[in-house]
Every structure is written in C-alpha cells, then in structure tokens.
Structure 1
Amino acid sequence: MAGVKHWGLVLVVLCIKSLSSLVNGAGNGNDGGLVASFIFGDSLVDAGNNNYLQTLSKANIPPNGIDFKASGGQPTGRFTNGRTIGDIVGEELGVPNYAVPYLAPNSTGKAILHGVNYASGGGGIMNATGSIFVNRLGLDIQIDYFNNTRKQLDRLLGPSEAKNHISKRSIFSITIGSNDFLNNYLLPLLSTGTRISENPDAYIDDMINHLRNQLTRLYQLDARKFVVGNVGPIGCIPYQKTINQLSENQCVGLANKLAMQYNRQLKDLLSELNGKLQGAIFVNANVYDLVMELITNYAKYGFTTASRACCGNGGQFAGIIPCGPTSSLCDDRAKHVFWDPYHPSEAANLIIERQLVYGTTKYISPINLIHLRNL
C-alpha cells in the first residue's frame, strides 16, 4: 500500500508540473509560444513611437484605437481602430505582451524581454522617405535602436543567454516599403527631382540594396528568424482612389506596378539571403496578394466596402483627410476593409494574420509563421 501511495504522490506532482508548464507556456517544442517579437516598419505596425516625435504623422487622437481593448478604446498611436497586424500575429504566436514601443518610457528592464516595437509612421527603407512629415524613424535608425536593445539584453541576461534569446526565441518582422513610393518616389512636387534623376528600375534597385544591408545588419546582431512583408496594392487605398477620382473598382496603375516590381525583387533578395546567411531563415509575407484578395472579394469576407475609409473626410471615399476627432465615422467598423485613407481595419488585419500564421505558400513562403516559430 505504501508503494501505491508513493506512486500516487508522484503522479500528483507530475500532473502539477504539467499544468504549471501549460500555464507558463511550455510544452510544444518551443516553450508553447514565442518569447519575443521585434517589430520594424511603418504606420501599418507603429504601436506608438510617433507619439514621442515632433511629427505630422500621428495617430494618438480619437477615434483611432476605439476598438483597442488593452487601452479601453483610447488612442495609443496605432493607425487603426484596434490591433495592428504586428499585435495580432504576436498574440497568435504566444508572445505574452504586446511589443513595447522603443521610444516609450516603459521600454526598459524586463519589459524588453518580450520584444520591442521600433516601427514609425512615415518611415521607409530610404532615409529621405517621409520627410514631408518632418520627423519619423527610417529603417536605418530603427536598427540603430535595436543595437541599443541588443546591448541591454546582454546586460539583462548575460551575453550567451541573450544571443540564444535573440536567435532562437524571437521573430523579427519587417513591414516597410509603402512610404518609399507614396511619400517619396510618387509624392507630387517633392519627389520630382528624384524621378528625373532616377528611373523606377534604378530607384527600386536602390531600395533593394539598402534593404539587403539593413537585414544583414540585423543578422550580425544575432537575428535569425525573419518575416518580411512585401508592399501591398498601394494604388487601391482610399487616398489614391480619391485623389485620382477613380471609380470603386479602379486602382492607380503606376503605384501598383511599382509595388509589384519591388515585390518581385524582394522575393529574390530573400531567397539570396536564405542561401547566404547561415542559420537564418527569411520568410516572405505576400501582403500584396492578401490585401488584393480582400479588396476584390470583400463581400465574401463579410465586408460591405473595400473602397471607402471608415474614418476620414474628403471625396467619394473619405480618402483625403486622415482620421481624427472631426472625421466622419462609419457605423460598423468590422464591415470596412480600410479604417482610414491608408490603413486596414482590425477586421482586415485579423484575416491577413490567419493566412500569415497558418497559410500556404500562396501567401507566406517558404514556411508559415507557426512553423517559423517552432524552428
């Protein structure tokens, strides 16, 4: 009987340990979830960095964030009604907290162990991109800031554990490139000189060369798991449709053509880096086709419009004046693909996230993000 009691006690202890492991997120080959998410990019994934800049590109005013539960519906600096795609992907992959904005006062100490968000509205691959907004963080500066975080992790964890944390237990997501067209190469007046001196082929080559160096820098700082989003159908956003006076089913051809050309070269670049940078894996997120699918077949996904901004003013598609307190606001935010003249709604972000995390190579290649996490 004593033996039976002993084994009963062992089983109870094992059950408690198993439950503890599940509660603490351990158990499926990668501790049950991703430990950290490091986010780089533009306003599509900015979680509030621009709040701390003297910039014209800000979203810390209502009704932005009206559906963001973590803030009780108050604006946080996210350029959407709820969570960004970076927030939703991190949640799905098991990151315990949203990545804290680098410029926020609380981005210190143990808060950085679950990741940091460096993204900035108006930022781009090229340093000149977004100058119309006065201030923004371009990708070069964002990587400079990660270098600071990297040193902080060394101090927090010790060099060996910090390297392991970064290389094996973190995903680096880069969502950038749209502003390099919208707020640089295609910008009326300000970019005329660039377009005279540099044809589209040369400009896109320049972008790719810059990005190659930027991704290699992150690799040298021990990043190993990357997901890089391509540029979406920027010719189809409400802003472009409105200023070009297009009909509901039309998109600006030049903008989309440039995006597709860049996207082809981005795919080649990521293949090149997968072959060249040992131990790294670069995953290509096909945002262009994902968003185009939503725009083309919006009714199939429960939306009533893929042309009109839910929050905005001006023109047929409310696409000229950004979202703010005096903007017209749609009744059902979940029925709009676009929150404002530029950015998807949380409802659209949720659909995009499912394909990136669990989808096939049509939208995410060579592997999806659940497989990337578990490597």
Structure 2
Amino acid sequence: MAFSYSHFDVNRRRINFMTTLMMVSSLLCLIPIGNADDNDKALGASFIFGDSLVDAGNNNYLSTLSKADTTPNGIDFKASGGTPTGRFTNGRTIGDIVGEMMGIPTYATPFLAPNATGKAILSGVNYASGGGGILNATGRIFVNRLGMDVQVDYFNITRKQIDQLLGASSARDYIQKKSIFSVTVGSNDFLNNYLLPVISIGARISQTADSFTDDMINHLRDQLTRLYRLDARKFVVANVGPIGCIPYQKTINQLNENECVDLADKLARQYNAKLKDLLVQLGETLPESTFVYANVYDLVLELITNYRKYGFSTASRACCGNGGQFAGIIPCGPSSSLCTDRDKHVFWDPYHPSEAANVLLAKQLLDGDTKYISPMNLRQLRNH
C-alpha cells in the first residue's frame, strides 16, 4: 500500500530543531518495543522497503520537499514523546506495528540514520522513502527521494554488514530463514508520475495505462529478484490502495463524501491484478522463496466504506491538513488545522492513514485470512 502525497514544505526548519530531531531519530532504534530478550534470535529481522506509508525517517536526511519532520506529525508517537520523527502519520506506521506484534525488539532503523550500523541492523533496517516509487522517474517533483532501485542498492550494503557481524554462513541463515522483507510501493508511480497534473501529460499521450503498469511490474520483478539473489526468501508485497478515495483526490476533484476518482482507482486495480500474478510467478520460479500478497486495496476500501463499524467518525476528511471540503489540499504542517479526535479519523493527512487505521490494517496482515493476505498471513510467514 502506498498512498502518495505532494509535500511543498515552505516552513524552514531551525538548525537547533533539526539537530534535536536527528538525535531523536537516531535513538529510536534503541528503544525496546517488545518483550523479546537478546537471546531470542529466532525473531529475525524486518527489512522494510517502500514509500511514505512506511518511511520511518529516511527523508529527514535528504534535501527533499517530501518531509514529515515538523509538528504535528508524530504527535502520538510514544517512543519519541510526540516529537516528529519523519513518519507520515500521527503515530506508528504499519511497519512499526507489525514489528511490535511479531515481537521484534526494536523499530527497524532508517538506513540513512547515523546509527544504522552494528548490532542495531540485526532487528531490521528501514529503506522506505517518502516520494519513492518503483520507477526511477517517480517523485522527481520532490527533488530527492529513494526509489526502489536505490533502496535495493542500500540493502546490498546492509547485507555485507550482516556478513561481517555473523559470518557468511550464519548471515545467510539469518536472512533466508529468520527475516521478512516487506515492500509497500506503487501509489507514487501513479499519483506523482503518471497522473501528475501538467508534468505527466506527455507521458500519458505516449504511453497507455496498460503499458505503464507493465513497466511497473517489469521493474518490480527485477527489484524483487535482486533481493532474492541477496538471500531474501520471505516476502510480503502490498498492492496499491484505493488511491482515488484519499482526501486529496476527493478534494481536488470536488467529489462527494462517498465518491472516489474512477481513473486513479482503475489504474490501481489494473496494477494490482498484474502484481498478484507476478508474485505467483516469482514463487514458482525462485527456489525456496515465499511471496505473500497483501491486499491492502480491499482492506482500506473496507475501512472507508464501513468506517463507522470500526469506530471512526469520518473516512473522507483529513485530521491534519487545509483546503477544500475534506482538508485535502495542503499537507500536514505547523499551520494546519488539527482535529481533536485523531483516533476517529481514517486519514491523518490528505494522503496517509492515521495510526488508528494502521493498527486495524496491521492486525489483518498479521492474523487475517486469505481475503486480505495470501497464501498465508504474516504470523504464518514468520514461522514458515
């Protein structure tokens, strides 16, 4: 799942605030989040790839327009005391929550954080980057971001570090048998590439939607195969969520509360069908690999459609944002309007789910049935 965004940060951060932020981000991987002790190596590691839905702070270390390092982002993130960490939500990301639920002892460290070395990487590393996509051209409007090709390059560095920590044989065992690789990417390739107003018009004239989604699938195939060659064996790959239903899309298209943008959702569904087929093919052709398909599209659509059933008061209005009927035009920042009932909103900002929504999504991915995650859930994958 990868809801995208357009983050034009006009607020210049003060040097002392940024220094404090970097210190907080660097310390987060040292904060225990579970009851696992140091001897429980069976828990393995969580290696997280993707975009802003699971970025845990990598973009803090980039000169980019895509940042979440200002208040009120992170206001409910207990590990930092409510200080922004670079997560594009009010609290924990799905990756954070799944890691906690699986008993991984610390949050996966952002790769670009200065302390992403030594034993800290044995609990996992987060390579995700706000604005990143499958295709290298995706997100160029933000100036800097880490696309999937670069993220896999960075894992290659981590892979060599694990060899040095554990020795080649034990490192291979640790990666292949005890580690999970999660990939949450794709929405930016639509919202901040193919569907981007003005900039993408030429591309859409020269490339059909079918050709564009084929291009995405071919690139992702190469990226997942590269990870496999670096000893990744247990994969969970999320499909693209209902991007036509996010507050940003509803606002700029002046839709009613229960409407979604048809073209964006059609593209997501088209890509998702091809992604599901790709993962089956890879599982059949790459020996000893397991590829799990996370049906985030239907999961999020269920929350949006039946939000009251899950305790939410709105699935269309952003908790933090400004502009239009659903506060969906200007990204969350210090000058944004902020709701008082954050756990009652499906969406934190114009593009990303709230922590309350992330908790529900993570629970389904961890223990849900094949409607939402197949051929097995994450708890089963861990023990597989």
Q: For the Cα contact (< 8 Å) 1:35–1:94, is it kept in 2?
A: no
Matched residue SS, 1:39: strand
Pair 1:52-2:61 in alignment? yes
> Deviations along 1:90-149, whole A, 9 cap, x unmatched?
111111100000000110111111110000000000000000000000000000000000
Q: Read off the aligned partner of 2:245 and give its amino acid letter.
A: C
Give the fraction of aligned pairs with identical amino acids, expressed as a percent.
75
Aligned to 2:260: 251
Q: Read off the aligned partner of 2:348 and give its amino acid letter.
A: W
Q: Distance in 2 between matches of 1:26 and 1:308?
A: 45
Aligned to 2:71: 62
Q: Distance in 1 between matches of 2:349 and 2:202?
A: 30
Aligned to 1:14: none
The CA RMSD measured in Å over matched residues stands at 1.1
Q: Distance in 1 between matches of 2:259 and 2:313?
A: 17
Which residue, 220, 223, 231 being the options, matches 2:240? Answer: 231
Q: Distance in 2 between matches of 1:159 and 1:25?
A: 21
Aligned to 1:15: none
> Deviations along 1:223-264, whole A, 9 cap, x unmatched?
000000000000000000000000100000000000000000
Q: Read off the aligned partner of 2:148 and give its amino acid letter.
A: L
Q: For the Cα contact (< 8 Å) 1:166–1:222, is it kept in 2?
A: yes
Q: For the Cα contact (< 8 Å) 2:331–2:349, is it kept in 1?
A: yes
Matched residue SS, 1:284: strand
Q: Distance in 2 between matches of 1:147 and 1:24?
A: 28
Pair 1:282-2:291 in alignment? yes
Q: Read off the aligned partner of 1:244 and give its amino acid letter.
A: N
Q: For the Cα contact (< 8 Å) 1:88–1:353, is it kept in 2?
A: yes
Matched residue SS, 1:227: strand
Count of aligned pairs between the two proteins: 350
Aligned to 1:337: 346
Aligned to 2:367: 358
Deviation of 1:173 after TM superposition, in Å, equals 0.2
> Deviations along 1:271-329, whole A, 9 cap, x unmatched?
00010000010000000000000000000000000000000000000000000000000
Pair 1:265-2:258 in alignment? no
Q: Read off the aligned partner of 1:24 and give its amino acid letter.
A: D
Which residue, 142, 149, 165 being the options, matches 1:140? Answer: 149
Q: 1:198 to 1:327 in 2, by over 3 A?
A: same
Aligned to 1:191: 200
Q: Distance in 2 between matches of 1:367 and 1:26?
A: 27
Q: 5+ unaligned residues in a row in structure 2: which ranges?
A: 1-34
Larger radius of gyration: 1
Q: For the Cα contact (< 8 Å) 2:58–2:112, is it kept in 1?
A: yes
Q: For the Cα contact (< 8 Å) 2:36–2:104, is it kept in 1?
A: no
Q: 1:23 to 1:188 in 2, by over 3 A?
A: closer
Deviation of 1:26 after TM superposition, in Å, equals 7.1
Q: Read off the aligned partner of 2:213 and give its amino acid letter.
A: I
Deviation of 1:193 after TM superposition, in Å, equals 1.5
Matched residue SS, 2:359: helix
Pair 1:300-2:309 in alignment? yes
Which residue, 124, 128, 137 being the options, matches 2:133? Answer: 124
Q: For the Cα contact (< 8 Å) 2:36–2:105, is it kept in 1?
A: no
Q: Distance in 2 between matches of 1:192 and 1:137?
A: 24
> Deviations along 1:140-176, whole A, 9 cap, x unmatched?
0000000000011111111111111111111000000
Q: For the Cα contact (< 8 Å) 2:321–2:329, is it kept in 1?
A: yes
Q: Distance in 1 between matches of 2:289 and 2:278?
A: 13
Aligned to 1:24: 37
Q: 5+ unaligned residues in a row in structure 1: which ranges?
A: 1-21
Q: Distance in 2 between matches of 1:314 and 1:57?
A: 19
Which residue, 337, 340, 343 being the options, matches 1:328? Answer: 337
Aligned to 2:222: 213
- What is the TM-score with the length of structure 1 in the denominator? 0.92
Q: 1:207 to 1:362 in 2, by over 3 A?
A: same
Aligned to 1:367: 376
Aligned to 2:186: 177
Q: For the Cα contact (< 8 Å) 1:234–1:255, is it kept in 2?
A: yes
